Structures are given as C-alpha cells and as structure tokens.
Amino acid sequence: MIRALVFGVTGYTGLELVRLLSTHPEIFIVAGSSRTWAGKRASEALPFVNRAKDFPLRTLEDLLEDPQADIAFLALPHGESMAVIRPLLEAGLKVVDLSADLRLNDAEVYQDWYGPHKDPELIPRAVYGLPELYREEIRKADLVANPGCYPTSVILALVPLMKLSEVDTSCPVVDSKSGISGAGRGAKLNTSFCEAGESFKPYGVIRHRHIPEMEQELSKVAGKPVKVRFTPHLIPVSRGMVSTIHVRLIQPLSAVSIRELYIEHYRSEPFVKVLPAGKFPDTAFVRGSNQCHLAIEVDERTGWLIVMSAIDNLVKGASGAAVQNANLMTGLEESSGLSGLPLFP
C-alpha cells in the first residue's frame, strides 16, 4: 500500500483526489492539509467522506514537519506549492505538484506570466506530467509537474498533427470552454449561481496563463516554435472542458486518413479515445472519468482541419492525471483506480 498526503484538501482538486483515492486499490490518504479544518477529521469537513477512508486534517506546517508518507499531492495555489516541495523531497517522498509552479521550463517565462519564481533550481528536476508524452520519464521521476487543464485538452488534441507537413501548425486557433470548477472553490460573484448559471462568456481573451505551457510543449513536439491563438470561455456546468482547434491545411488531407492517424497514435493509450466519424466530444460523456475524447474533421470547402477534445477538467485535467502520474511513479498499473465510467446523466 502507498501512503499519500494531500495538501490543500478542501479545494476542488483536493476534493477530487479524495474521491478518486477513495476507491483506489493501492494508494490511500494518511493525512491532508487544510487551513480552515486543521485539527478535524476529513469526515467532519466533508460530509461525504465515509468512515472507512477517514483521515486527519492538519495545517500545512504540521504536515511538513514529519511527513510519514510515500507520496504527496500538492493541490495548492500557484506560488505556494514551490515552498513545500523541497522539504518533502528531502524527507524521501515523491511529489506530484498540481500547481503551475514547475510546468514551465524557463523561470523567466514563469515570471512573465505568474510572477517571480521562489525556487528556480527545482525546475529542471521536475518532469512535465503528461504520460502520453513523457511516460518513461515520469516512471523514473520523484517530482512531477501536473499539467494544466487547458494544456491537456489542447496538447492531446494536437500532438499527432505536429509533425505533419500537410498542415500549418505554427499557430493553431484554439477556442476552449471550461466548466466553472476550473475557477477554483473561492466565493466570487462572477462564479455565483445567479451570475454564471444562465451565462456563457469569453474571458482572458488575449492573455491566459496556460498559453506558455501549451506553446512550450507543442514546440517541443513540433521541433520548432509554435504559438497558440487561445480564447477561453466559461460554460455553465460544474465540470467539463471542450477545445475546438483549427489548423490550416497546406495540402489536401482526407478526414478518414487523419482520423486513422489519430487512432493509430493513441491505440495503446488507456485514457484517450478517438471518436468515429460523425460523433463529437461531449463533456457529458467524460464527466467524472479520466478519459479524453477526440474527434477530427476536415473542411475541404475552406481548407481547415478541426480537432475537438473533451475532458473533465477536474479529472484528466487535474486530479485524475495526478493519480495517473502517481501510479507511474510508484510502479503501479497506470490506470489503477481510474477505470470508473463517467457519471451520466
């Protein structure tokens, strides 16, 4: 059995780790951190935690003092994560960091988008936790930077295209839509039921912090610089993320052949599914599961190729991916605890 700590257990990604690990056959939570609930049991803070899987809640500082565990999940805000990683690694724990703190390879780029980095020497030690790209590196890592939700939905959709000569992948046009849990668990007027519930709107149209992460990874795959024209939107659902991506065709390409390419590319991936022609990704069909659904169409009339992806932003876009990484890092079966079907309806 693998003993896990969850830092920041009462946020949405923390709660989702609790949910996923409650049925994990090998990894169980021994303690969690919570500023508000320190000193209580998880079942007191979260009415749905059942007694058999209960665990104590402590302050972050308490938890760091003597971290008796094998792995730590950091579901902390950007900027806070980097401060706790070093003591955990030194105590011999493996670490999955769900924040953005170690996703960007370049501390200056980090500074441009997030502010000054407190521990830039950690950066080269972290592996970018997208198993579909870095599975072997993750297996050997003791520190993994779990990807952002938008980057996951965009990178998985684009990877098979990036080396094709028939398409211009230098600047995909990406129109993404996220469920409201992506904004975190704070109380804000713009994510209140009355203001977000019968609403759909773009936000962060020119500048969103997930852009450098997408560009970094897509550039690596392409072997040349890639920019992303990215527009995020807010959907009135709790969970779910769809990215609709447009890439210009340089030469004619049939939908059948490109779909075949995707199927081949993802044939052995446990969590990526390429939909048959005429089916499109729907957040309802991945909700609560670690799946990523992809669809590809070619618009011959206008000369564009369209790739669409759907994930649950809290699962494959955050906590599910973190468990997938933890499975790899600890030598477990990659899909252990992650085979649940979506909650539909």
When asked if residue 268 is in the footprint of a copy of itself (CB under 8 A), the reply is no
Is residue 205 within 8 Å of 139, Cβ to Cβ?
A: no
By CB under 8 A, residue 259 contacts a copy of itself: no
Does residue 22 interact with a copy of itself by CB under 8 A? yes
Q: Of the candidates 116, 187, 223, 331, which one interacts with a copy of itself according to CB under 8 A?
A: 187
Q: Tell me the residue type at 120.
A: P
Contacts of 276 (CB under 8 A, 6+ apart): none
Pull the structure tokens for residue 140: 């050997």
Instruction: Report the site for a copy of itself in 26-55 (rule: CB under 8 A).
Output: 47-50, 52-53
In angstroms, what CA-CA distances link 326 with 101, 123, 130, 297, 309?
A: 18, 19, 12, 34, 24
Choice between 15 and 60, CB closer to a copy of itself: 15
- Active site residues per annotation: 149
**How many amino acids of this chain bind a copy of itself (CB under 8 A)?**
86
Q: Which of 92, 115, 225, 236 binds a copy of itself (CB under 8 A)?
A: 236
Q: Pick from 162, 155, 1: which is nearest to 71 by CA?
A: 1
Q: Which of 99, 287, 317, 336 binds a copy of itself (CB under 8 A)?
A: 287
Query: Does 291 participate in binding a copy of itself (rule CB under 8 A)?
Result: yes
Q: Which is nearer to a copy of itself, 260 or 300 (CB)?
A: 300
CB of 19 to a copy of itself, least distance (A): 4
Candidate list 61, 188, 224, 257; residue touching a copy of itself; CB under 8 A = 188
The nearest distance, CB 157 to a copy of itself, in angstroms, is: 12
Judging by DSSP bridges, how do beta strands 94-97 and 292-299 pair with one another?
unpaired
Decide: is 180 part of the binding site for a copy of itself (CB under 8 A).
yes
Least gap, CB of 46 to a copy of itself (angstroms): 8
Determine if 105 is a binding residue for a copy of itself (CB under 8 A).
Answer: no
Say whether residue 228 binds a copy of itself (CB under 8 A): yes
Q: Which span sits near a copy of itself by CB under 8 A: 73-81, 130-138, 256-264, 287-295?
A: 287-295
Nearest to 152 by CA among 17, 323, 284, 309: 309
User: In angstroms, how far is the first alpha carbon of the chain from the final one?
Assistant: 33
- How many of the other CB atoms lie within 10 Å of CB of 198? 8
Query: Which 3 state secondary structure label does DSSP give 295?
Result: strand
Q: Is 224 in the site for a copy of itself (CB under 8 A)?
A: no
**Is residue 198 part of the contact set for a copy of itself (CB under 8 A)?**
yes
Identify which of residues 44 and 136 has a Cβ nearer to a copy of itself in the complex: 44
d(CA 36, CA 65): 19
- Cβ of residue 153: shortest distance to a copy of itself, in angstroms? 12
DSSP state of 56: B
Which residue, chain included where needed, has tokens 């519930």? Answer: 197
Verify binding: residue 191, a copy of itself, rule CB under 8 A.
yes
* 177 is an interface residue for a copy of itself by CB under 8 A: yes
Q: Is 108 in the site for a copy of itself (CB under 8 A)?
A: no
CA gap 246, 61 in Å, rounded: 46
Q: Cβ 103 to a copy of itself, closest distance in Å? A: 19
Per-residue HEC secondary structure of 227-240 comes to CCEEEEEECCCCCC
Please give the sequence-ordered ranges of beta strands (E in DSSP) within 69-190, or none if there are none. 71-74, 94-97, 127-128, 143-145, 167-178
Cα-based distances in Å from 272 to 126, 190, 289, 293? 24, 33, 11, 6
**One of 14, 147, 240, 320 touching a copy of itself (CB under 8 A):** 240
